[in-house]
Amino acid sequence: MILSKRFFHKFIAPIGGAVERAMQRYDSDKRYRTLFTRPHVNLHLFFQLSDCESQRDLAQELEEDRDLQEAVGCPSVNHSSLSRANARRTFRVFRYIFHTLYPKAISCAGSVLKSLEGLKQVKILDESFLECCASMAWAQYRKTKNGLKLHLLLDLRRIPNKLVLTPGRENE
């Protein structure tokens, strides 16, 4: 495991209350027998913090590492169970957690943002590559892979000013 168990516990500790409230609000564990909400959220967080490239990688990492199983809060889960949970669990749980934690993150970053207030004309450009399925011929990237690029222009308050989608092979 790339992340230490101790670091991961510290990282997920502040979100526990938000996850618990989301679980109660949306009854998100109803009809689930294996991958409950808290481990599901923890797995997504681990996925973002680790070098896993796919759900298969994540499932394999979880299967091989007892410390990770303990840190995430679930025994090994195969990638198909994770995929089903992603498809069936309502997005509202994740949206609720985000909207609960976002103001806290902004307040923590407040002093840094205040120091940047004089730079109102500065814009942030972010480009992300999004893989697409093979049937999306318009998003041709390589012979074996389709994809597109998402370009997002933000101001310093992180408010999007412009969003542009381009074919994956185009330059920035």
Sequential pLDDT tens for the chain (172 residues): 456 767 888 888 889 899 999 999 999 999 888 889 999 999 999 888 887 888 888 889 888 888 888 888 888 888 888 888 988 999 999 999 999 988 888 787 777 767 776 776 778 888 888 888 877 777 778 888 888 888 888 877 677 788 888 888 777 6
Q: What pLDDT is stored for residue 51 in this prediction?
A: 76
In total, how many domains does the chain have? Answer: 2
Amino acid symbol at 72: V
End position of a domain, from candidates 90, 108, 126: 108
User: Are residue 31 and residue 63 in the same domain, yes or no?
Assistant: yes
The amino acid occupying position 41 is V
Tell whether 45 and 27 lie within a shared domain.
yes
My answer on whether 102 and 141 are in the same domain is: no
Task: Please give the pLDDT value at position 18.
Answer: 94
| Spatial distance between the Cα atoms of 151 and 160, rounded to a whole number of angstroms | 10
| Angle value at C-alpha 15, between 11 and 16, nearest 5 degrees | 110
Contact call for residues 42 and 50 (beta carbons, < 8 A): no
CA-wise closest residue to 58 among 39, 36, 33, 34 = 39
Give residue 1's pLDDT.
Answer: 47
Give residue 98's Cα distance to chain centre.
10
Based on the fold, state whether residues 47 and 72 are members of the same structural domain: yes
> Is residue 59 domain-resident?
yes
The reported pLDDT for the residue numbered 97 is 94
What is the gyration radius of the CA atoms in the chain, in angstroms?
Answer: 19
Do 13 and 97 have their domain in common? yes
Are residue 45 and residue 130 in the same domain, yes or no? no
Q: Is 41 part of a structural domain of the chain?
A: yes
- Do 36 and 55 share a domain, yes or no? yes
Query: Is there a single domain that holds both residue 28 and residue 103?
Result: yes
Residue 99 shares a structural domain with residue 138: no
What pLDDT does residue 120 have? 67
Q: Does 90 lie in the same domain as 132?
A: no
User: Could you tell me the pTM of the whole model?
Assistant: 0.67
Q: What was the pLDDT predicted at 49? A: 83
Residue 133 domain boundaries: 117-167
| Backbone torsion region of residue 27, taken as left when φ is above 0, otherwise alpha when ψ lies between -120 and 50, otherwise beta | left
Question: Which string of DSSP letters, residue by residue, matches the chain?
Answer: --S-HHHHHHHHGGGHHHHHHHHHHHTTTTT-SSS-HHHHHHHHHHHHHS---SHHHHHHHHHH-HHHHHHHTS----HHHHHHHHHHS-HHHHHHHHHHHHHHHHHHTHHHHHHTTT-TT-EEEEEEEEEE-TT-GGGB-SSS-EEEEEEEEEETT--EEEEEEEETTS--
Phi, psi of 97 (to 5 degrees): -60, -45
In a domain, residue 172? The reply is no
